[in-house]
């Protein structure tokens, strides 16, 4: 593997791993310091990409101050009427997430995994060369 390709792979992979870790730390702080509420899925937001249709839940909850807030969740597969836990920023209640492992940790994990999937082959080929 030539040096330029190795440098690019290590830079891009390292940036993805760092981004995944940064997002994980942000989500951890958010989930541990945010306010919690019970919400309900009140509808679905649809997004079409080529031949795929994605449905994301619209969640409604009431803040500790009594304000009713609606936001779009990021986890597919929740049906209307489903009760969900919500974590939100009390100063900015529209900054909210559904409080499930998938909602909180899937994106940081996938970003870091993509970074490792770039770095590991680059390291292998730089050490052992093509097969």
122 to 21, 31, 110, 113, 130: CA distances (angstroms): 21, 35, 19, 14, 10
The pLDDT confidence band at residue 17, using thresholds 50, 70 and 90, is: very high
Three-state DSSP at 43 gives strand
Neighbouring C-beta atoms of residue 75, cutoff 10 Å:
17
Give the mean pLDDT of 110-129.
93
How much is the pLDDT for 77? 79
Give the mean pLDDT of 8-24.
96
Q: Which residues contact 37 (CB under 8 A, 6 or more apart)?
A: 61, 62, 63, 64, 85, 86, 88
How much is the pLDDT for 90? 93
pLDDT at 131 over 70: no
pLDDT at 130 over 80: no
pLDDT one-digit tens code per residue, 23-77: 999 999 988 899 999 999 999 998 888 888 888 999 999 999 999 999 999 887 7
What angle is formed at CA 65 by the lines to CA 59 and CA 71, rounded to 5 degrees?
A: 20
């Amino acid at each position: 593997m030539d040096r330029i390709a190795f440098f690019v792979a290590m830079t891009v992979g390292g940036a993805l791993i760092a981004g995944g870790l940064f997002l994980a730390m942000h989500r951890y702080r958010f989930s541990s310091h945010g306010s919690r509420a019970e919400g309900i899925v009140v509808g679905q937001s649809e997004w079409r990409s080529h031949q795929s249709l994605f449905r994301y839940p619209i969640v409604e909850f009431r803040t500790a101050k009594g304000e009713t807030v609606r936001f779009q969740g990021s986890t597919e597969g929740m049906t209307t009427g489903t009760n969900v836990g919500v974590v939100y920023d009390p100063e900015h209640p529209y900054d909210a997430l559904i409080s499930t492992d998938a909602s909180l940790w899937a994106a940081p994990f996938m970003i870091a995994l993509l970074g490792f999937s770039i770095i590991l082959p680059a390291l292998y080929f730089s050490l052992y060369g093509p097969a």
